[in-house]
Amino acid sequence: MEAFFLSTALVAVAEIGDKTQLLALVLAARYRKPVPIILGILIATLANHALAAWIGAAVAGWVGAETMRWILVATFLAMAGWCLVPDKADDGPQAARTAGAFLATLVAFFIVEIGDKTQIATVALAARYNSLVLVTAGTTLGMMLANAPVVLFGDAIARRLPLRIVRAVAAGLFAALGIAAIFMPSGL
């Protein structure tokens, strides 16, 4: 159980102020559907951290820090552009908005977590404890503890702020992160 508790604590702390919290806030403001977003985070994290526990070290070796940096730059800048696009599903039926929120969260969280500190922590913890299930469960719980409240809080903020302003602020933050990633050291 030490592997589970340590994994949970390390990831919950590591996620504070991380880009995935910003992503959770953006998704909550955009879709205003907390349950599908939280489920998307859960499934994406389970898949990502299970994959990290199995092959994360090999992938990092193949891709390298410099390539990973440029993937992050592209991801942040793409997210900045995506934040500015009004959601067409807002005008559609409730089921379309729910599916859109879930799928957007699932894909975005999976991609953004690639090469992230929590994915790397998952690789290291799995190697140390030799327990894929406990480490994956612990790191996933840590991710949920850090991001689910942001989704719930983000939805409350979204009800009070015009979505246009939320989109512009989020786009600016993602663009700033993308530009900052250009100048970060290649050792990630």
Enumerate the domain spans of the chain.
2-70+90-161
**How does DSSP classify residue 88?**
G
| Highest mean pLDDT of the ranges 20-29, 141-150, 173-182 | 141-150
The burial of 88, by beta-carbon neighbours within 10 Å (0-12 exposed, 13-18 middle, 19 or more buried), is given as exposed
Whether the per-residue pLDDT at 20 is higher than 80: the answer is: yes
What is the spatial distance between Cα 118 and Cα 25, in angstroms, rounded to a whole number? 18
Largest interatomic CA distance in the chain: 49
pTM over 0.75: no
Q: Would you say residue 9 has pLDDT above 80?
A: yes
Mean pLDDT of 143-147: 91
H or E element that contains 163:
helix 163-183
The mean pLDDT value for 75-82 works out to 70
Give the length of the chain.
188
97-125 confidence digits (pLDDT tens)? 567 889 888 888 888 888 777 777 777 77
